[in-house]
Chain A
C-alpha cells in the first residue's frame, strides 16, 4: 500500500530461522465510522498493538481563514459557524468579540446575556454529541440515540431563536441578530428541568458501567506537564487535573457576574488524566452549564440587543487576540485589521488541532480499540482541525 506523501518507517525483524516479521501499516480513514469527521490515521501496528498512529489531516480544509480576507467583517460570520459546526455559537462569539475589540465597540448588556445563554446551550448541545459518540465508539449504541433525543429539544429551541439547527449565525458585530422570542425563556427552563435528571440517568446507564470504565480507565494517561506542553485546552486539559477555564480565570462577557464551578478530573476511577477523566469532565460541565443558563435567565436585563455598527465596518488598524471557552476548550482568534472593510488576517487556534497533534505521542503501545477511545475522548471534530 503506497502512502501518499509521507513514508512510514516500518520495522522489520528477522528472527532465527529466517522468519521475517514486519509491522503492519493500516490506514484508518478518511472514510471511517468513528473518526469524528474526515480524518485519517496511518497506523503502524504489530497485530493489535499499535506502535504509532500518525494523523493525516487536511481533508476538510476549506481555507476559511483566507475567505475572511475576501468577504469582509460582517460577511464572515456565517463562515465562522462552519469552523466548528458542532458548537457554532462559540465561533460566532469569538469572531464578533475580536471585531468589537478592534473596533472599540461596546455592546448592550442584554446582548451579552443573550450571547452567554446561547453559548451555554450550545455547550450542552456539543457535549451531548461528544458523550454520545464516545459511547457509540466504545460500542454502546443506546446512549448515542438518547443524547440525540435530548439534542432534538435543543435544536427546536435554537430553531426558534435563530432559525437554524446547526449553523446558527446568531451573533452579529455589536450584539446578537434577534432578541429572545416571547415565551422562549420558559421553554428553556422547561428543557433544563427535564434535562438535569437525564444527565443523572446517563451516569446510571453508561458512565460507571463496568465494561465502559474498563475500556477507558488508564488509557492514554496524559500528565499535567504534557497537557500544557502540547497546548491541550478545555475538558482535555481539565481532565488532566489543570484547573483552568477561560470563563473563570480570564473572564470575558458577563462571566464575572455568574457563579459556577469548573469540574476537573480527579482520577477517581483509574489514573488522573486518562480517557475516563476527560469524559466525566464533559458530563459534569453539562450540569454546570444548566446552572449558568438559569442564572442568566434570572438576571436578564431589558434593552437593545445590538449596538449601532456601520454597515461598512472599518476598525482601526491593529491586531488583537481574543479567547473564549468553547465546548472544545480555549478557542483563540488572532485577528489583524488594516483599517479597511476586509480583515487582513484571521487565525483561529482551536482545541482539536492541539489534541490531534498529541495523538501520535499518546498512541504508543495502545491497542487499536484504544485509539478509537482516545480520539473520542479528545472530542476531535475535523472541521475545527482543518478549518
Chain B
C-alpha cells in the first residue's frame, strides 16, 4: 500500500518524535529534516518497517547553505515493493560537518557519500573507505562549497590561462 509523504512522515514522527522535523514542501518534494545523530536509526527503520520498506537510496546529495551556516545532506528514498517516496534532510554544522554514514543500510550510499565528502567536506563517521572520489587525492579544499577559491596552481600547472580573445 503506497503511502504518501504525510503518511510516511506520520509514521516517522510516531517512532522518533522530535528528532523528525515538520513536513515541508508538497507532493514528491515533501521533505522532513532529521537530526544528524539519529539518521542511521531512521534509515534502518525506514528500510525494515513492513509498511515502509524503503529499499532504495535513490539519491544522496549535499547542499551548502553558508547563510544558515549548515551543509545539508539530502536523502531521496524510494521503495520498489510499495512504490512510495520520502525525502530526508540532515543539517550538519558548516564548520565541522559530521554525519553518520548509512552505508550499512544501503550499499548505494558508499560512493554517494564519498562524493559529498570530496566536494563538500562532510565527514561520514563509520564509512569504510572515506576518500576523495572525483578530485585528485591531494586537492586542497572542497570545490562545491560556496566559498571555495580555486587554487592558483596544482603541481606546478597553472589553473588559469590567458584569454584566447586577442583584441
Q: Choose among B59, B119, B133 the residue that contacts A349 (Cβ–Cβ < 8 A).
A: B59
| Complex contact A336–B63 (CB within 8 A) | yes
Decide if A296 is an interface residue (CB 8 Å cutoff).
Answer: no
Decide if B25 is an interface residue (CB 8 Å cutoff).
Answer: yes
Decide if A6 is an interface residue (CB 8 Å cutoff).
Answer: yes
- Which has the most chain B C-beta neighbours within 10 Å: A5, A347, A354? A347
| Complex contact B136–A58 (CB within 8 A) | yes
| Complex contact B131–A5 (CB within 8 A) | yes
Q: In the assembled complex, which residues on chain B have CB atoms less than 8 Å from the CB atom of A4?
A: 136-137
Task: Decide: A231 near B108, CB < 8 A? Known: A334-B59, A349-B58.
Answer: yes
Q: Give, as a whole number of angstroms, the nearest-CB distance from B159 to chain A.
A: 12
Q: In the assembled complex, which residues on chain B have CB atoms less than 8 Å from the CB atom of A231?
A: 56-58, 106, 108
- Which has the most chain B C-beta neighbours within 10 Å: A63, A229, A344? A229
Q: Choose among A65, A244, A336, A347 the residue that contacts B80 (Cβ–Cβ < 8 A).
A: A244
- The size bracket of the interface on A is 35 or more
Decide if A32 is an interface residue (CB 8 Å cutoff).
Answer: no
Decide if A297 is an interface residue (CB 8 Å cutoff).
Answer: no
Task: Decide: A58 near B133, CB < 8 A? Known: A229-B108, A318-B29, A349-B61.
Answer: yes
Q: How far is the CA of A228 from the CA of B47 in the complex (A)?
A: 12
Q: In the assembled complex, which residues on chain A have CB atoms less than 8 Å from the CB atom of B39?
A: none
| Complex contact A6–B80 (CB within 8 A) | no
| Complex contact A334–B137 (CB within 8 A) | no
Q: Give, as a whole number of angstroms, the nearest-CB distance from A353 to chain B.
A: 7
A 44-74 binary contact with B (CB < 8 Å = 1; else 0) = 0000000000000110010101100000000
Q: In the assembled complex, which residues on chain A have CB atoms less than 8 Å from the CB atom of B137?
A: 4-6
Closest chain A residue, CB of each to CB of B76: A321
Q: In the assembled complex, which residues on chain B have CB atoms less than 8 Å from the CB atom of A336?
A: 63
Q: Give, as a whole number of angstroms, the nearest-CB distance from B63 to chain A.
A: 5
| Complex contact A319–B134 (CB within 8 A) | no
Q: How far is the CA of A319 from the CA of B111 in the complex (A)?
A: 23
Enumerate A372-387 residues with CB–CB distance to B below 8 Å: 386-387
| Complex contact B80–A319 (CB within 8 A) | no
Q: In the assembled complex, which residues on chain B have CB atoms less than 8 Å from the CB atom of A234?
A: none
Q: Give, as a whole number of angstroms, the nearest-CB distance from B129 to chain A.
A: 8
Task: Decide: A66 near B143, CB < 8 A? Known: A319-B29, A321-B76.
Answer: yes
Decide if A332 is an interface residue (CB 8 Å cutoff).
Answer: yes
Enumerate A1-40 residues with CB–CB distance to B below 8 Å: 4-6
Q: How far is the CA of A250 from the CA of B25 in the complex (A)?
A: 19
B 28-67 binary contact with A (CB < 8 Å = 1; else 0) = 1101000000000000000000000001111101011000
Tell me whether chain A's interface is mostly helix, strand or loop, or mixed. Answer: mixed
| Complex contact A5–B59 (CB within 8 A) | no
Closest chain A residue, CB of each to CB of B105: A229
Enumerate B84-117 residues with CB–CB distance to A below 8 Å: 87, 106-108, 110-112
Q: How far is the CA of A334 from the CA of B29 in the complex (A)?
A: 10
Q: Choose among B64, B74, B107, B134 the residue that contacts A230 (Cβ–Cβ < 8 A).
A: B107
Q: Choose among B29, B132, B144 the residue that contacts A66 (Cβ–Cβ < 8 A).
A: B144
Closest chain A residue, CB of each to CB of B81: A228
Q: Give, as a whole number of angstroms, the nearest-CB distance from B132 to chain A.
A: 8
Task: Decide: A345 near B59, CB < 8 A? Known: A58-B135, A66-B144, A334-B76.
Answer: no
B 125-141 binary contact with A (CB < 8 Å = 1; else 0) = 00000011111111000
- Which has the most chain A C-beta neighbours within 10 Å: B56, B87, B143? B56
| Complex contact B111–A5 (CB within 8 A) | no
Q: Give, as a whole number of angstroms, the nearest-CB distance from A69 to chain B.
A: 8
- Which has the most chain A C-beta neighbours within 10 Å: B31, B64, B80, B106? B80
Q: How far is the CA of A90 from the CA of B137 in the complex (A)?
A: 32
Q: In the assembled complex, which residues on chain A have CB atoms less than 8 Å from the CB atom of B76?
A: 321, 332, 334
Q: Give, as a whole number of angstroms, the nearest-CB distance from B41 to chain A.
A: 19
Q: Give, as a whole number of angstroms, the nearest-CB distance from B114 to chain A.
A: 9
| Complex contact A321–B111 (CB within 8 A) | no
| Complex contact B83–A249 (CB within 8 A) | yes
| Complex contact A357–B108 (CB within 8 A) | yes
Q: In the assembled complex, which residues on chain B have CB atoms less than 8 Å from the CB atom of A6?
A: 131, 137
| Complex contact A357–B110 (CB within 8 A) | yes
Q: How far is the CA of A13 from the CA of B34 in the complex (A)?
A: 48
Q: In the assembled complex, which residues on chain B have CB atoms less than 8 Å from the CB atom of A250?
A: 83
Closest chain A residue, CB of each to CB of B144: A66
Query: Which residues of A does B touch, CB under 8 Å?
Result: 4-6, 57-58, 61, 63, 65-66, 225-226, 228-231, 242, 244, 249-250, 318-321, 323, 330, 332, 334, 336, 344-345, 347, 349, 353-354, 357, 361, 386-387
Extra pairs beyond A58-B135, A58-B136, A330-B58 (15, CB < 8 Å):
A5-B131, A6-B137, A58-B134, A65-B144, A225-B55, A229-B107, A231-B106, A231-B108, A319-B31, A321-B59, A321-B76, A332-B76, A334-B74, A345-B64, A353-B111
Interface CB pairs A-B, < 8 A, 8: A66-B144, A228-B56, A229-B106, A319-B25, A321-B59, A357-B110, A361-B107, A387-B134
- Give 9 nearest A-B pairs by CB, closest first: A231-B108, A5-B137, A347-B61, A357-B111, A58-B134, A349-B59, A61-B134, A345-B63, A229-B107
